[in-house]
Amino acid sequence: ETGVTQTPRHLVMGMTNKKSLKCEQHLGHNAMYWYKQSAKKPLELMFVYSLEERVENNSVPSRFSPECPNSSHLFLHLHTLQPEDSALYLCASSQDSKNTEAFFGQGTRLTVV
Amino acid sequence: DAKTTQPNSMESNEEEPVHLPCNHSTISGTDYIHWYRQLPSQGPEYVIHGLTSNVNNRMASLAIAEDRKSSTLILHRATLRDAAVYYCILRDVLGNEKLTFGTGTRLTIIP
């Protein structure tokens, strides 16, 4: 248990569906992240939020839409995804300092059919 | 972020020490060296980090070369639960909060 909780753990969605991934932390952290981990690929950083403002967007397609309503919650809204978007989506949080450790959730295993 | 180079895979016997190397020849003076590991079916977890001096914690030790161009993560007594992918990452203290992962080293523990 890392203190970062992701729901759901597994999600199967069609290409025309709209769904959202949720991440929650009550560690008092000010930075939150979304990563994508595809099979046999390194983790890819998607978005970074610091103090509820997006500070990084790594050329992610617009069918992925993040939302950070407060410092404890982070969402990833999904719409019109493609089968190649199937992956493990990981959320992480850290203090606002540059060199403190990041805590990761267990991830959401997403399958797009 | 400066890049790191790690072996793709390593094997070690259970209850023996493991030395996981990482090369970072282009490291800058403001880069910290971080290690994370990812156990099967889990998210990554922090292991240790350092700047210049060797570091110890309950999980592992980090030995940093004097020129800082390489480092070694040391697991003093490997157990089957240490089987994971180990990532060596440079994190610039002057940069943003980005934490960028490479391909890491897949460590297999032999019973």
Q: What does the pLDDT look like over A41-70, one tens digit per residue?
A: 889 999 989 888 887 777 899 999 999 999
**Residues in chain B, pLDDT under 50:** none
Query: CA–CA distance from A5 to each of A25, A41, A90, A105, B18 (Å)?
Result: 6, 23, 10, 5, 31
Give the DSSP letter of residue B52.
Answer: S
- Report the 3 state secondary structure along A44-107: EEEEEEECCEEEEECCCCCCEEEEEEECCEEEEEEECCCHHHCEEEEEEEECCCCCCCCEECCC
Chain A's closest residue to B106, CA to CA, is A40
Q: Would you call A56 and B97 a contact, using CB atoms and an 8 Å cutoff?
A: yes
Provide the chain B residues 81-100 that lie in CB contact (below 8 A) with chain A. Answer: 91-100
Which two tokens mark A68?
């950070």
Contact criterion met (CB < 8 Å) for A92 and B99: yes
Q: How far apart are CA A70 and CA A102, in angstroms?
A: 18
Q: What is the DSSP letter of B80?
A: G
Amino acid at A38: S
pLDDT (tens, 9 = 90+) of chain A, 113 residues, equals 779 999 999 999 999 999 999 999 989 999 999 999 998 788 999 998 988 888 777 789 999 999 999 989 999 999 999 999 999 999 999 987 566 789 999 999 999 99
Residue of B nearest to A4 (CA): B43
Interface of B with A in 14-33 (CB under 8 A): 32
